[in-house]
Amino acid sequence: MHTEVRMSTKVEHPTQSIKKAKVKKLLNNYQLYLFLLPALIYFIIFHYFPMYGVIIAFKNFIATQGIMGSPWVGFKHFERFFESFQFWSLIKNTLGLSVLHLIIGFPLPIILALMMNQIRHEKYKRFVQTVVYAPHFISVVVLAGMIYVFFSNNGLINNFIMMFGGESISFMAKPEWFKPLYIGSGVWQETGWAAIIYLAALAGVSPELHEAAVMDGASKWHRILHVDIPAIMPTAVILLILSVGNIMNIGFEKAYLLQTPLNQPSAEIIPTYVYKMGLQQAQYSFAAAVGLFNAVINLVLLVAVNKFAKKLSGQGLW
Protein backbone atom coordinates (compact mmCIF):
# COMPACT_ATOMS: atom_id res chain seq x y z
CA MET A 1 0.00 0.00 0.00
CA HIS A 2 1.51 3.24 -1.12
CA THR A 3 0.95 6.38 0.85
CA GLU A 4 0.90 9.60 -1.04
CA VAL A 5 2.43 12.46 0.85
CA ARG A 6 1.23 15.83 -0.29
CA MET A 7 3.34 18.81 0.71
CA SER A 8 1.67 22.16 0.61
CA THR A 9 4.06 24.94 -0.25
CA LYS A 10 3.05 28.51 0.36
CA VAL A 11 4.13 30.76 -2.48
CA GLU A 12 5.28 34.16 -1.22
CA HIS A 13 3.92 37.23 -3.00
CA PRO A 14 6.62 39.26 -4.85
CA THR A 15 5.64 42.44 -2.95
CA GLN A 16 6.23 40.74 0.40
CA SER A 17 9.65 39.49 -0.66
CA ILE A 18 10.62 42.99 -1.78
CA LYS A 19 9.52 44.43 1.57
CA LYS A 20 11.50 41.79 3.46
CA ALA A 21 14.57 42.56 1.36
CA LYS A 22 14.24 46.26 2.13
CA VAL A 23 13.87 45.63 5.86
CA LYS A 24 16.89 43.32 5.82
CA LYS A 25 18.92 45.93 3.97
CA LEU A 26 17.82 48.57 6.48
CA LEU A 27 18.86 46.43 9.44
CA ASN A 28 22.20 45.56 7.89
CA ASN A 29 23.03 49.25 7.38
CA TYR A 30 21.41 50.74 10.48
CA GLN A 31 24.63 52.59 11.41
CA LEU A 32 24.40 54.69 8.25
CA TYR A 33 20.79 55.60 8.98
CA LEU A 34 21.76 56.60 12.54
CA PHE A 35 24.31 59.00 11.06
CA LEU A 36 21.55 60.40 8.85
CA LEU A 37 19.12 60.84 11.75
CA PRO A 38 20.50 64.15 13.21
CA ALA A 39 20.33 65.84 9.78
CA LEU A 40 16.81 64.50 9.27
CA ILE A 41 15.69 65.82 12.66
CA TYR A 42 17.28 69.20 11.91
CA PHE A 43 15.40 69.58 8.62
CA ILE A 44 12.09 68.47 10.17
CA ILE A 45 12.36 70.93 13.07
CA PHE A 46 13.85 73.96 11.33
CA HIS A 47 12.69 73.59 7.70
CA TYR A 48 9.49 71.53 7.49
CA PHE A 49 7.74 72.30 10.77
CA PRO A 50 7.95 76.11 10.22
CA MET A 51 6.02 75.63 6.96
CA TYR A 52 2.95 75.60 9.19
CA GLY A 53 3.35 79.38 9.48
CA VAL A 54 3.00 79.87 5.72
CA ILE A 55 -0.78 79.92 6.11
CA ILE A 56 -0.58 83.50 7.43
CA ALA A 57 -0.05 84.48 3.79
CA PHE A 58 -3.73 83.62 3.29
CA LYS A 59 -4.87 85.31 6.50
CA ASN A 60 -5.00 88.77 8.00
CA PHE A 61 -2.60 87.88 10.80
CA ILE A 62 -3.39 89.47 14.16
CA ALA A 63 -0.84 88.66 16.83
CA THR A 64 -3.35 88.67 19.70
CA GLN A 65 -5.54 86.10 17.93
CA GLY A 66 -2.73 83.82 16.80
CA ILE A 67 -2.30 82.05 13.49
CA MET A 68 -5.40 79.88 13.68
CA GLY A 69 -7.61 82.63 15.15
CA SER A 70 -6.78 85.21 12.48
CA PRO A 71 -9.41 85.66 9.73
CA TRP A 72 -8.91 84.14 6.26
CA VAL A 73 -8.54 86.59 3.37
CA GLY A 74 -7.61 84.18 0.56
CA PHE A 75 -5.35 85.65 -2.13
CA LYS A 76 -5.83 89.27 -1.06
CA HIS A 77 -2.16 89.84 -0.18
CA PHE A 78 -0.97 88.24 -3.42
CA GLU A 79 -3.29 90.49 -5.44
CA ARG A 80 -2.01 93.51 -3.54
CA PHE A 81 1.58 92.60 -4.39
CA PHE A 82 0.81 91.93 -8.07
CA GLU A 83 -1.02 95.26 -8.38
CA SER A 84 1.59 97.33 -6.52
CA PHE A 85 3.75 99.81 -8.45
CA GLN A 86 6.90 98.09 -7.11
CA PHE A 87 6.07 94.62 -8.46
CA TRP A 88 7.82 94.85 -11.84
CA SER A 89 10.79 96.80 -10.52
CA LEU A 90 11.33 94.15 -7.80
CA ILE A 91 11.10 91.32 -10.34
CA LYS A 92 13.43 93.17 -12.71
CA ASN A 93 16.02 93.92 -10.02
CA THR A 94 15.93 90.42 -8.51
CA LEU A 95 16.11 88.58 -11.83
CA GLY A 96 18.66 91.05 -13.21
CA LEU A 97 21.06 90.49 -10.31
CA SER A 98 20.51 86.73 -10.23
CA VAL A 99 20.83 86.09 -13.96
CA LEU A 100 23.90 88.30 -14.34
CA HIS A 101 25.52 86.67 -11.33
CA LEU A 102 24.75 83.23 -12.81
CA ILE A 103 26.05 84.10 -16.29
CA ILE A 104 29.26 85.66 -14.98
CA GLY A 105 29.84 83.71 -11.79
CA PHE A 106 28.98 80.15 -12.84
CA PRO A 107 31.60 79.49 -15.56
CA LEU A 108 34.46 81.24 -13.72
CA PRO A 109 34.99 78.51 -11.07
CA ILE A 110 35.16 75.92 -13.88
CA ILE A 111 37.78 77.96 -15.75
CA LEU A 112 39.75 78.55 -12.54
CA ALA A 113 39.67 74.86 -11.63
CA LEU A 114 40.87 73.86 -15.10
CA MET A 115 43.70 76.39 -14.87
CA MET A 116 44.79 75.33 -11.38
CA ASN A 117 44.65 71.69 -12.41
CA GLN A 118 47.37 72.40 -14.97
CA ILE A 119 49.80 73.81 -12.38
CA ARG A 120 52.53 71.25 -11.73
CA HIS A 121 54.61 73.15 -9.15
CA GLU A 122 53.04 72.04 -5.85
CA LYS A 123 54.16 74.98 -3.68
CA TYR A 124 52.99 77.52 -6.23
CA LYS A 125 49.69 75.62 -6.63
CA ARG A 126 49.07 75.68 -2.87
CA PHE A 127 49.87 79.40 -2.78
CA VAL A 128 47.38 80.12 -5.59
CA GLN A 129 44.71 78.02 -3.88
CA THR A 130 45.20 79.88 -0.59
CA VAL A 131 44.95 83.27 -2.32
CA VAL A 132 41.74 82.45 -4.23
CA TYR A 133 40.08 80.65 -1.28
CA ALA A 134 40.77 83.37 1.31
CA PRO A 135 38.06 85.90 0.28
CA HIS A 136 35.36 83.30 1.01
CA PHE A 137 36.09 83.58 4.74
CA ILE A 138 35.43 87.34 4.83
CA SER A 139 32.05 88.02 6.39
CA VAL A 140 29.40 89.86 4.37
CA VAL A 141 29.44 92.79 6.80
CA VAL A 142 33.21 93.20 6.44
CA LEU A 143 32.95 92.87 2.65
CA ALA A 144 30.28 95.59 2.51
CA GLY A 145 32.52 97.81 4.65
CA MET A 146 35.44 97.20 2.28
CA ILE A 147 33.27 98.18 -0.69
CA TYR A 148 32.28 101.44 1.04
CA VAL A 149 35.93 102.19 1.88
CA PHE A 150 37.25 101.47 -1.63
CA PHE A 151 34.40 103.00 -3.64
CA SER A 152 33.40 106.03 -1.54
CA ASN A 153 33.93 109.55 -2.91
CA ASN A 154 37.28 109.76 -1.11
CA GLY A 155 38.08 106.06 -1.45
CA LEU A 156 41.03 104.31 -3.02
CA ILE A 157 39.41 103.85 -6.47
CA ASN A 158 38.43 107.51 -6.78
CA ASN A 159 41.90 108.59 -5.64
CA PHE A 160 43.37 106.55 -8.51
CA ILE A 161 40.88 108.06 -10.96
CA MET A 162 41.69 111.62 -9.87
CA MET A 163 45.43 110.83 -9.89
CA PHE A 164 45.18 110.28 -13.66
CA GLY A 165 43.13 113.40 -14.23
CA GLY A 166 39.63 111.91 -14.01
CA GLU A 167 36.63 113.05 -12.01
CA SER A 168 35.40 111.40 -8.82
CA ILE A 169 32.52 108.94 -9.33
CA SER A 170 29.79 108.47 -6.72
CA PHE A 171 29.72 104.68 -6.96
CA MET A 172 27.48 104.19 -3.93
CA ALA A 173 25.00 106.88 -4.96
CA LYS A 174 24.35 105.95 -8.59
CA PRO A 175 21.86 103.10 -9.25
CA GLU A 176 23.71 101.94 -12.38
CA TRP A 177 26.81 101.05 -10.31
CA PHE A 178 24.98 98.81 -7.82
CA LYS A 179 24.91 95.68 -10.03
CA PRO A 180 28.60 95.84 -11.05
CA LEU A 181 29.68 96.30 -7.42
CA TYR A 182 27.40 93.54 -6.16
CA ILE A 183 28.32 90.99 -8.83
CA GLY A 184 32.01 91.88 -8.95
CA SER A 185 32.42 91.52 -5.18
CA GLY A 186 30.52 88.22 -5.25
CA VAL A 187 32.71 86.82 -8.02
CA TRP A 188 35.86 87.89 -6.16
CA GLN A 189 34.66 86.33 -2.92
CA GLU A 190 33.19 83.02 -4.10
CA THR A 191 34.96 81.96 -7.31
CA GLY A 192 37.91 80.29 -5.58
CA TRP A 193 35.73 78.47 -3.07
CA ALA A 194 33.32 77.22 -5.74
CA ALA A 195 36.26 75.84 -7.74
CA ILE A 196 36.99 73.29 -4.99
CA ILE A 197 34.17 71.00 -6.17
CA TYR A 198 35.49 71.00 -9.74
CA LEU A 199 39.04 70.39 -8.56
CA ALA A 200 37.76 67.36 -6.62
CA ALA A 201 36.03 66.09 -9.78
CA LEU A 202 39.22 66.63 -11.81
CA ALA A 203 41.23 64.72 -9.20
CA GLY A 204 39.14 61.65 -10.02
CA VAL A 205 40.12 61.66 -13.68
CA SER A 206 42.26 58.62 -14.46
CA PRO A 207 45.86 59.55 -15.43
CA GLU A 208 45.66 56.78 -18.03
CA LEU A 209 43.24 58.90 -20.06
CA HIS A 210 45.75 61.75 -20.25
CA GLU A 211 48.57 59.32 -21.03
CA ALA A 212 46.56 57.80 -23.88
CA ALA A 213 45.73 61.28 -25.19
CA VAL A 214 49.41 62.27 -25.11
CA MET A 215 50.32 59.09 -26.97
CA ASP A 216 47.77 60.05 -29.64
CA GLY A 217 49.44 63.44 -30.00
CA ALA A 218 46.81 65.52 -28.17
CA SER A 219 47.94 68.96 -27.00
CA LYS A 220 47.22 70.34 -23.52
CA TRP A 221 44.23 72.27 -24.88
CA HIS A 222 42.80 69.14 -26.53
CA ARG A 223 43.21 67.17 -23.29
CA ILE A 224 41.32 69.87 -21.38
CA LEU A 225 38.61 69.94 -24.03
CA HIS A 226 38.14 66.18 -24.48
CA VAL A 227 39.19 64.71 -21.10
CA ASP A 228 38.84 67.24 -18.27
CA ILE A 229 35.65 69.05 -19.32
CA PRO A 230 33.61 65.85 -19.96
CA ALA A 231 34.79 64.56 -16.55
CA ILE A 232 33.39 67.57 -14.66
CA MET A 233 30.27 68.00 -16.81
CA PRO A 234 27.94 65.91 -14.54
CA THR A 235 29.03 67.98 -11.53
CA ALA A 236 28.54 71.21 -13.48
CA VAL A 237 25.03 70.19 -14.55
CA ILE A 238 23.96 69.42 -10.96
CA LEU A 239 25.38 72.72 -9.66
CA LEU A 240 23.71 74.62 -12.51
CA ILE A 241 20.33 73.09 -11.64
CA LEU A 242 20.78 74.06 -7.99
CA SER A 243 21.86 77.58 -8.96
CA VAL A 244 18.87 78.13 -11.25
CA GLY A 245 16.52 76.66 -8.63
CA ASN A 246 17.80 79.25 -6.17
CA ILE A 247 17.86 82.13 -8.64
CA MET A 248 15.24 84.25 -6.85
CA ASN A 249 17.02 83.94 -3.49
CA ILE A 250 19.81 86.36 -4.28
CA GLY A 251 21.73 87.20 -1.10
CA PHE A 252 19.75 89.45 1.23
CA GLU A 253 22.56 90.57 3.55
CA LYS A 254 24.91 92.18 1.02
CA ALA A 255 22.08 93.77 -0.97
CA TYR A 256 20.64 95.29 2.20
CA LEU A 257 24.03 96.53 3.43
CA LEU A 258 24.90 98.13 0.09
CA GLN A 259 21.57 99.93 -0.24
CA THR A 260 21.50 103.70 0.03
CA PRO A 261 18.57 106.08 -0.49
CA LEU A 262 20.08 107.08 -3.84
CA ASN A 263 20.76 103.62 -5.33
CA GLN A 264 17.58 101.99 -4.00
CA PRO A 265 15.74 102.00 -7.38
CA SER A 266 18.31 99.44 -8.58
CA ALA A 267 19.12 97.83 -5.20
CA GLU A 268 15.66 96.94 -3.91
CA ILE A 269 15.06 93.20 -4.42
CA ILE A 270 12.40 90.79 -3.16
CA PRO A 271 14.33 89.54 -0.06
CA THR A 272 15.03 93.10 1.17
CA TYR A 273 11.43 94.11 0.39
CA VAL A 274 10.11 91.17 2.43
CA TYR A 275 12.36 92.16 5.35
CA LYS A 276 11.17 95.77 5.30
CA MET A 277 7.50 94.89 4.94
CA GLY A 278 7.54 92.08 7.51
CA LEU A 279 9.89 93.20 10.26
CA GLN A 280 10.13 96.96 9.89
CA GLN A 281 6.48 97.68 9.03
CA ALA A 282 4.96 94.62 10.80
CA GLN A 283 2.91 93.59 7.73
CA TYR A 284 3.47 89.91 8.47
CA SER A 285 0.81 88.42 6.20
CA PHE A 286 1.76 90.54 3.22
CA ALA A 287 5.48 89.76 3.67
CA ALA A 288 4.69 86.05 3.98
CA ALA A 289 2.69 86.18 0.73
CA VAL A 290 5.57 87.85 -1.13
CA GLY A 291 8.05 85.33 0.30
CA LEU A 292 5.78 82.42 -0.67
CA PHE A 293 5.47 83.76 -4.21
CA ASN A 294 9.26 83.93 -4.39
CA ALA A 295 9.61 80.33 -3.16
CA VAL A 296 7.04 79.04 -5.67
CA ILE A 297 8.94 80.68 -8.55
CA ASN A 298 12.14 78.98 -7.35
CA LEU A 299 10.38 75.61 -7.17
CA VAL A 300 8.97 75.94 -10.70
CA LEU A 301 12.39 76.92 -12.07
CA LEU A 302 14.08 74.02 -10.27
CA VAL A 303 11.67 71.42 -11.67
CA ALA A 304 11.77 72.90 -15.18
CA VAL A 305 15.57 73.12 -15.35
CA ASN A 306 15.99 69.63 -13.91
CA LYS A 307 13.65 68.20 -16.55
CA PHE A 308 15.41 70.11 -19.33
CA ALA A 309 18.86 69.00 -18.11
CA LYS A 310 17.78 65.34 -18.00
CA LYS A 311 16.55 65.53 -21.58
CA LEU A 312 19.65 67.33 -22.77
CA SER A 313 22.44 65.50 -20.92
CA GLY A 314 20.83 62.64 -18.98
CA GLN A 315 21.96 64.22 -15.68
CA GLY A 316 19.56 65.53 -13.05
CA LEU A 317 18.78 65.78 -9.37
CA TRP A 318 16.07 63.14 -9.57
Phi, psi of 72 (to 5 degrees): -75, 140
**61 part of a folded domain:** no
Quote the CA–CA distance of 69 and 61 in Å, as a whole number: 8
3 vs 139, higher pLDDT: 139
Q: Are 86 and 273 in contact (CB under 8 A)?
A: yes
2 vs 224, higher pLDDT: 224
**46 part of a folded domain:** no
**7 part of a folded domain:** no
Interval 154-175: pLDDT, tens: 888 988 888 888 888 888 888 8
Give the pLDDT confidence score for residue 285 in this predicted structure. 92
Interval 46-104: pLDDT, tens: 988 888 888 999 999 888 888 888 899 989 999 999 999 889 999 999 988 888 998 99
Quote the CA–CA distance of 222 and 1 in Å, as a whole number: 86
3-state secondary structure of 10: coil
Number of domain units in the chain: 1
Q: Is the pLDDT of residue 131 over 70?
A: yes
CATH assignment at residue 111: 1.10.3720.10
Domain limits for position 235: 78-313
5 vs 139, higher pLDDT: 139
Q: Is the pLDDT of residue 2 over 70?
A: no
Interval 198-221: pLDDT, tens: 998 888 888 888 888 888 888 888
Give the pLDDT confidence score for residue 218 in this predicted structure. 83
Quote the CA–CA distance of 190 and 251 in Å, as a whole number: 13
Q: Are 236 and 309 in contact (CB under 8 A)?
A: no
* HEC letters along 215-250: HCCCCHHHHHHHHHHHHHHHHHHHHHHHHHHCCCCC
**68 part of a folded domain:** no
**287 part of a folded domain:** yes
Quote the CA–CA distance of 163 and 297 in Å, as a whole number: 47
pTM beyond 0.85: no
Q: In angstroms, how far is the first alpha carbon of the chain from the final one?
A: 66
Q: Are 151 and 181 in contact (CB under 8 A)?
A: yes
Mean pLDDT of 169-187: 90
Interval 17-52: pLDDT, tens: 777 778 888 888 888 888 889 999 999 999 888 888
Interval 216-266: pLDDT, tens: 888 888 888 888 888 888 888 888 888 887 887 787 889 899 988 888 888
DSSP letter at 281 equals S
Give the pLDDT confidence score for residue 1 in this predicted structure. 45
Q: Are 192 and 132 in contact (CB under 8 A)?
A: yes
Interval 94-128: pLDDT, tens: 988 888 998 998 999 999 999 998 888 888 988 99
Give the pLDDT confidence score for residue 211 in this predicted structure. 83
Q: Are 195 and 132 in contact (CB under 8 A)?
A: yes
pLDDT grade for 142, boundaries at 50, 70 and 90? very high
Alpha helices in 246-282 (DSSP H): 252-258, 264-267, 270-275
